[in-house]
Amino acid sequence: MQKIMKKIIVLIFAIAICLSITNISFAEENNDKNFVIENFDVELNVKEDNKVEVKETLEVHFLNEYSHGIYRAIPIWEKYTSEDGKTVDKRAKITDFKCDGEKISYNSSATMFRAKIGDPDRLVPQYKTYNISYTYDLGKDVCSDKDEFIFHAFGDDLGGEVLYGKITLKFDNSLDEEKSTKVEKEQLLIWKDKFGKENIYDKGKNNDTQTSVAISEEGIVINLSKITGSITTEVILPEGYFSTAKDTYDNNSFIICCVTILISISAGIAWFIFGRDNKLKETQVITYPPENLDAAYIGVVSGNEGVAYSRYNALAVSLSSKGYISIAKDPNDKENFLVKKLIDINKPLPNNVKELSENEKLIYEAIFRGEHDIVSLKDDKIDETKLEQVDKNAKEFRKKLFVKKTTAMQITYIGLEFISLFMLIISFFAIKDAHPANNYIYVVSLIAWIVSLVFTILLEKRTSYGDKLTAEVKSYKEFLKGFDAEQCKKLLQDNPKFFYETLPYTYVLGITKNWVKEVNSYPDLAKYFNSPYFQDSMMFLAYHYIFINNVANPTNYHGDSSGNFGGLGGSSGVGSW
């Protein structure tokens, strides 16, 4: 399960990074300021359904003779601050984007519409005019006592200075003279930002020499010069003006999140019906590994086998405890170990020498690949095919511990977890079309996904054999964590190598530190830790990466452990390329 968790975490970061690449790259494109917009005229034809027919005329002076055209960035999600100072997130819809006589390619995201205007095979002249049009649907008005028309006409990150700009506002039902006067004096606001902090048009008075406003039956005309940041227009309208406006939010993200929640619920149900383990039966105190299992298999039963090289190291120490090899520090290199062959497994074994398990034999053969009796773990390569066979043996043994059906279900739900996580990331970063009031669904679905991941990890049900071994290994672990000194003395009388043979098991059970501390609390037992063998074995386990650095292919075991761009972005962007 540790491998699965690592892969899921890596997947989260990989998808998030991939989905943010377009935003990062576009931000870079809009930073070299290689043009000047001499004129930027924006005509806004406001309809009663709060759709705006936008016409933009840009007269661009390119400073770079190798430019191909411009970018145009228009926000889909934007923050709008009303007259009362409240800021809300709103989603808009952009349709019918056109630029007269120009080739267009698109690179949009959930939050920004992006168009690349121009021909990659042709350079533009030093001065060029672009005529752009599109429909910008702002959706329902959020105010309860009035309607507000708020439009960010220019972006807040200008890729090139705008020398002169003009904003023309035309409303679908013409304002009469009385209402026009009212608009001029009370209802028109022009902000030099996006959040209503700096008003450059105060109640009809020209308090900024760079701003002039004219209101007529044709509409409202705002002239500006030397624009270097955001310009937001706001018009206060009678309540109900946008009565026919429709929502600009969709349900795709909401549906995806609900599907993720349903998958999570099904994972919980599957665990409750099929995956709950039987209660472990009480067992007598186990002082030796059950069924004489080697350290690799004990690690599998306990679930603490960790990355693959942990069991390789434990098995190597088992070889030493049984007298087949000796492990010692290299006197010439403090980060190296020398392994000496004491018993040749291809010859008859001496008396009173314990047989090696299949996995221990594989580790023996992995270390001693040639005829040398002394091997340097830093200089000599280890036979990785033998290590792979140890892993296969561990996987086959694990199959005996769990019900096959629940294992298959767990694999299925792991796949569903990956899919649902991918869907969640897509819904939030690539689609993001839910109403802000429903943003809680993202949090709920993420929590549900985490909970379902826990259920998925717990879904495998142990077989009766698995229950038996788990109970016995648990008893063995508890004995090692806090044993009776007198009992250990008796065990040492029967087997003087008791502590040495126990060391590899404490390693895969993850209790070596506590175990050593416990034994050291008894002076007459602590002497066993002062032997050169024991000290070398402990040091060897501390350098647990030793096998990784010396297999023939170490990567198998890690983790088993054309143009210049610039422009203005933000609220509304233009850039050259």
Residues 292 and 378 occupy one common structural domain: yes
Alpha carbons 9 and 257: distance in angstroms, whole number? 19
Do 227 and 330 fall into the same domain?
A: no
How many CB atoms sit inside 10 A of residue 345's CB?
A: 15
Q: What is the pLDDT of residue 553?
A: 43
The answer to whether the beta carbons of residues 114 and 70 sit under 8 Å apart is no
Q: Is residue 60 part of a domain?
A: yes
Q: Please report the pLDDT score of residue 207 as a whole number.
A: 47
Instruction: For residue range 276-287, list pLDDT tens digits in order.
Output: 988 888 888 888
Q: State yes or no: pLDDT of 176 exceeds 70.
A: no
Phi, psi (degrees; rounded to nearest 5) at 252? -60, -50
209 beta partners = none
Which has more pLDDT, 531 or 391?
391
State the average pLDDT over residues 128-149: 89
Q: Give yes or no: residues 155 and 297 share one domain.
A: no
Share of the chain above pLDDT 90, in %: 39
What is the average pLDDT across 12-23?
A: 52
285 and 235 assigned to the same domain: no
Per the structure, the count of domains in the chain is 2
Range of the domain at 41: 31-248+572-576
Instruction: Mark whether 325 and 241 lie in a shared domain.
Output: no
What mean pLDDT comes out for the span 537-556? Answer: 61
Could you tell me if residue 559 is inside a domain? no
- 250: its two tokens: 């969709």
Euclidean distance between the first and the last CA atom of the chain, given in angstroms as a whole number: 48
The answer to whether residue 418 is domain-embedded is no
294 with 240, same domain: the answer is no
Which of 172-181, 456-465, 475-484 is predicted least confidently?
Answer: 172-181
With 80 as the cut, is the pLDDT of residue 424 above it? yes
Is 50 exceeded by the pLDDT of residue 558? no
- Percent of the chain past pLDDT 70, that is, above it, reads 83
Same-domain status, 179 and 293: no
Give the span between the Cα atoms of 442 and 436, in whole angstroms. Answer: 11
For residues 478 and 136, what is the distance between their CA atoms, to the nearest angstrom?
69
Q: Give the pLDDT band of residue 523 (cuts 50, 70, 90).
A: confident
How much is the pLDDT for 483? 73
Residue predicted with more confidence, 402 or 548: 402
Same domain, 40 and 99: yes
For residue 292, tell me if it sits in a domain: yes
Instruction: Report pLDDT for 569.
Output: 31
Q: Would residue 210 count as lying in a domain?
A: yes
Quickly state the pLDDT bin for 342 (edges 50, 70, 90).
very high
CATH number, domain of 135, equals 2.60.40
Helix (H, G, I), strand (E, B) or coil at 343: coil
Is 536 inside any structural domain?
A: no
Bridge partner residues of 384 (DSSP):
none
| pLDDT score of 549 more than 70 | no
Q: How confident is residue 182, by pLDDT bands cut at 50, 70 and 90?
A: very low
Q: Is 356 exposed, middle or buried (0-12, 13-18, 19+ CB in 10 A)?
A: buried
**Predicted confidence (pLDDT) at residue 151 exceeds the cutoff of 60:** yes
In terms of DSSP H, where are the helices of 482-546? 485-494, 498-509, 512-520, 523-526, 532-542
What's the whole-model pTM score? 0.68
Question: What local confidence, expressed as pLDDT, does residue 540 receive?
Answer: 83
Listed residue (204, 202, 198) closest to 228, CA to CA:
198
352 and 495 together in one domain: yes
At 476, the pLDDT band (50, 70, 90 cuts) reads very high
User: What local confidence, expressed as pLDDT, does residue 500 receive?
Assistant: 87
My answer on whether 106 and 243 are in the same domain is: yes
Secondary structure (3-state) at 235:
strand
Task: Report the mean per-residue pLDDT for the chain.
Answer: 81
CA–CA separation, 208 vs 192, rounded Å? 11
Give dist(CA 12, CA 29) in Å, integer.
26
What pLDDT is recorded for position 53?
95
Q: Look-up: residue for tokens 């879904």?
A: 459
Contact indicator for 461, 277 with CB cutoff of 8 Å: yes
Mean pLDDT confidence for 297-318: 84
pLDDT-derived band of residue 355, with 50, 70 and 90 as boundaries? Answer: very high
Beta strands of 63-198 (E only): which ranges?
69-75, 77-81, 87-91, 93-99, 104-106, 112-118, 127-137, 147-154, 162-171, 188-191
Asked whether residue 234 falls in the same domain as residue 113, the answer is yes
- Domain membership of residue 112 (yes or no) is yes
CA distance 287 to 299: 16
Any domain includes 346: yes
